[in-house]
Amino acid sequence: MGNLDLGKEKINKLLVAFCIPCVISMLINSIYNIVDQIFIGKGVGTFANAATNVLFPLIILFNAVASLIGIGAAASMSLRLGEGKKEEAGKSVGQAITVMFIVSVLLSVVSFIFLPKLVYMFGCTENVYQYAVDYGRIIIIGAPFMIVYSGLSNIIRSDGAPQYSMIMLIIGAIINIILDPIFIFGFHMGVRGGALATIIGQIITFVIAVVYIKKIKSVDLDKDSFKLDLGVFKTLSLGISSFITQGTVLVLFVFMNNMLTKYGSLSKFGADIPLSAYGLMSKINTLFISTVIGITIGAQPIIGFNYGAGQNERVRETLKKVIIVNFLIGVVFNIIFFLFPRQLGGMFISPSDPSYDLFMEFVELMCHSFLLVIALNALEMTGSTAIQSLGHIKKATIMAFLRQIILLIPISLFLCIGLQRGIYGVLYAGAISDVICFVIALFIVGSEYKKLGK
């Protein structure tokens, strides 16, 4: 694991070394998505921004698949190396790479064929349809590159090279940000320009990731490493919690898009403004989510290695510090959303836009309702991934389902249909779900923490 001994080095030093590059890597992805939205919003308009929101569930699906394979391989690699089983660790990595290439191509082909139907399933309106299809077709072409490099980045971090993973993502993001205004404003390509800039950055990142894997340090890869057998399912099972976590976000996004367009059309906001504003504020919220997940994923090799080596006290120390830091970060984001909603919304729309006033009103409403107590999400997100690193798949899976599926969707339906609160019911369901989820997650994570001390 490079120059750092995961079993002996001070936890604080390991967390800084692994988490900071991982957080930066995660944030880079979120930041250039937001920059895309700023350029698209200023250069094309509200409908175009709504279109990228419609396509966001598909992008979440691609990331979920990358997490399933990449995080599963990284977790398996750390556990096997902690147990001294280097050959098995190499097999986990090789098989994961094979699965990445096969699944990413198949997923892209299917998505491209069914894109017109998918956008309506994802909550698209007639005003937004053509923008969504134009944007989606280009993004799907680049999906295999995104899935593979995203998956490989987890393996690279677990190989003791988090800085390399960070740098390759930064390079891709910088290229994307440079090309965005050139394609959107210079070549007048609209949403197509934003999509093209994105996939060019992804292709370059993919190439850099593949170059590293050829020189991976912790395991030996040969032709046999890439041959699939039933053992690949054990590797993938370690990534199932992350896959389900993102999969539930996908389901939630589709559900929310459809609820917002349905009940938005019955309100003064109309269908398109809630669709656009929700997507934009959710992408700003990904800065919080990416930070928390980045810290937790960065800590994953430390947790997995020490748990595999039987050093439970080091696992407890790591888990405690990660939870505290993530919660404090959540508090900071809560303050920003509560105090500066109009400044955040103003980044994505021109004051001359006819929908400006209603758009800003909805953004403020969302920040003071749906995003009101997001700091509480830190425990659920941290606990789910950390417990997954310990190999407790069932508990991690339950936690991954908890907020999005078990709580938020039923509560939204109850408020909207049962209490007839309309668009306001959709938004306030977020805060209610966050509070309930926090209480349940506190019990699950607390019980696991106590077991590690025995």
pLDDT greater at residue 87 or residue 366: 366
With contact defined as beta carbons under 8 Å apart, do 448 and 392 qualify?
yes
Place of tokens 């054990």: 234
Please state the rounded mean pLDDT for residues 419-434.
95
For residue 50, what are the contacts with CB-CB under 8 A and spacing of at least 6?
Answer: 125, 127, 128, 131, 272, 275, 276, 279
Please state the rounded mean pLDDT for residues 238-243.
82
Please state the rounded mean pLDDT for residues 310-315.
89
Residue 124 pLDDT > 80, yes or no?
yes
CA-CA distance, 82 to 307, in Å (whole number)? 8
With contact defined as beta carbons under 8 Å apart, do 372 and 430 qualify?
yes
**Domain ranges for the chain:** 11-452
With contact defined as beta carbons under 8 Å apart, do 348 and 45 qualify?
no
As a 3-state breakdown, the chain gives helix, strand, coil percent values, each rounded to 5, of 85, 0, 15
Please state the rounded mean pLDDT for residues 142-161.
92
How many other C-beta atoms are found inside a 10 Å radius of the C-beta of residue 230?
6
Mean pLDDT of the chain: 90
Using 50, 70 and 90 to split pLDDT, how confident is the model at 1? very low
Coil, helix or strand at residue 266: coil
Which among 401, 144, 106, 157 is positioned nearest to 295, based on CA atoms?
157
Cα Rg, the chain, nearest whole Å: 21
Assigned token pair, 400:
């991954």
Q: Find the range with the poorest average confidence among 33-47, 62-76, 141-155, 200-214.
A: 33-47
Would you state the pLDDT for residue 3? 62
Would you state the pLDDT for residue 370? 95
Which among 63, 35, 238, 241 is positioned nearest to 149, based on CA atoms?
63
Condensed to tens digits (0 to 9), the pLDDT of residues 52-78 reads: 989 989 998 999 999 999 999 998 898
pLDDT greater at residue 218 or residue 106: 106
Assigned token pair, 424:
């306001």
With contact defined as beta carbons under 8 Å apart, do 302 and 18 qualify?
yes
